[in-house]
Amino acid sequence: MLRRTLLKKIGLGVSSLPFLTVEAGASPVLMEWKGRFTSDKEKDEDFWKEFRDQFYEVSGDFINLENGYFGVHPKPVHQAYVKNIEKVNRFSSQYMRTDYYKDVQKVVQGLASFSGINPEELLITRNATEALNILIQGLDLKKGDEVILHRQDYHSMIETFEMLARQKGIHLRYIRIPLIPESDEQIISLYREVSTPKTRCILLTHMIHLTGQIMPVKKIIDSFKPQGVDVIVDAAHSFAQLDFKLTDLGADFVGVNLHKWFSNPLGAGMLYVKKERIRDLKPLFGDVSKDENNIMKLGHFGTLATPNVLTIPISQTFNETVTLSLKEKRLRYLQNYWTREASSIPKVTVTTPTTPERSCALASFKIEGMEAKEVVKQLYDRFRVFTVIRQLEDEQVVRVTPNLYNHTGELEVLLEGIEKLAG
């Protein structure tokens, strides 16, 4: 039998060629809504209810005010993700060994432009912890080097530094960040007070995950740059929640994740290293083949969750359609909506600074005479409001985090709950 006939017989044809789209315009609903997210929509509850119906499918069994863990991805992202899973599975290694390389380049280029950086300065990782470990362990800190950090930094990053302290004999100098700072200068002086000629590195969390406090990252970096201190910025919560480009931070090293506010499915992060600093990092995962200035030398961690990576452009289009400026405004409006009222309830203390430059979606509170554990339990059991306990240096608080799909009616339920519990 002729080969052509055989191919026909087993049913192979043009339709079985890989067809994976990473083109962002692939979502009709996003095209339809483009241009509707104007700056006057911040307080327009009808608009946001229509948006919720169109873009989200969340459980109606409870009110989710714990969106700090990860961001529920919107429907267009979910549909693209499912499609990408099906396609990768269908075309298998044939796709992975051919067109995937081109597709991932497009993903990286898009993400770099969204972040305001060059594609050669970006590495897609599995999460923020991986990106930040590549940085922390890559700096090759030596015995006697000093690092400044605080107990409200993310625990995994603290553990990485604690591990290096045991392994290499670096010294960790912890400062205490006030819950409600007086000024940026007060914060900077706390860092300056403990710095010495041996200070090599600062771990700086852009938005503190426990309370939502935003740190004056650029000012701290500018203050320490002249003495050559390397600042590693943990932007896990600020990326795509606040309207900024990574270069605005003035940082050489940044780690973020894409499954929180960027709203990509769980399991993606990003590492940024300023081009001329790549050579200063030692690979965490074995690599001897790449040039010392090539960021890929840091990315030898094996196969990524490909369907997830291919979904990044749709998540990006979602953020670009909503616009980061309106997203930031709306999230801050929701936070201010409940914190303003909660702080006027007797026995309730809001433990987040609520001025616009110091916080956005995340905020926390406590009730005098009631353990945070009990507040979280009762808010859920009695009012079906889901929140989470966060451990500060020496006390616990309740963290409340609305996302774009939440509305003020849900925050009214939260406030009713807080009022009843405090009373």
Ligand X SMILES: Cc1ncc(COP(=O)(O)O)c(C=O)c1O
Distance of alpha carbon 419 from alpha carbon 375, whole angstroms: 11
Compose the 107-146 pattern: x for residues touching ligand X by CB under 6 A, - for all others: --------------------xxx-----------------
Q: Which stretch binds ligand X (CB under 6 A): 212-220, 230-238, 293-301, 357-365?
A: 230-238
Quick one: 273 or 367, whose CB is closer to ligand X?
273
Query: Does residue number 213 form part of the binding site for ligand X (CB under 6 A)?
Result: no
Quick one: 211 or 319, whose CB is closer to ligand X?
211
Query: Does residue number 306 form part of the binding site for ligand X (CB under 6 A)?
Result: no
Give me the least distance between CB of 158 and ligand X, in Å please: 10
Quick one: 235 or 414, whose CB is closer to ligand X?
235
The only residue of 134, 233, 236, 400 in contact with ligand X, by rule CB under 6 A = 236
The only residue of 27, 160, 205, 211 in contact with ligand X, by rule CB under 6 A = 205
Query: Does residue number 209 form part of the binding site for ligand X (CB under 6 A)?
Result: yes
Query: Does residue number 240 form part of the binding site for ligand X (CB under 6 A)?
Result: no
Quick one: 64 or 127, whose CB is closer to ligand X?
127
Q: Which stretch binds ligand X (CB under 6 A): 26-34, 179-187, 234-242, 344-352?
A: 234-242
The only residue of 71, 76, 110, 269 in contact with ligand X, by rule CB under 6 A = 269
Quick one: 170 or 254, whose CB is closer to ligand X?
254
Query: Does residue number 311 form part of the binding site for ligand X (CB under 6 A)?
Result: no
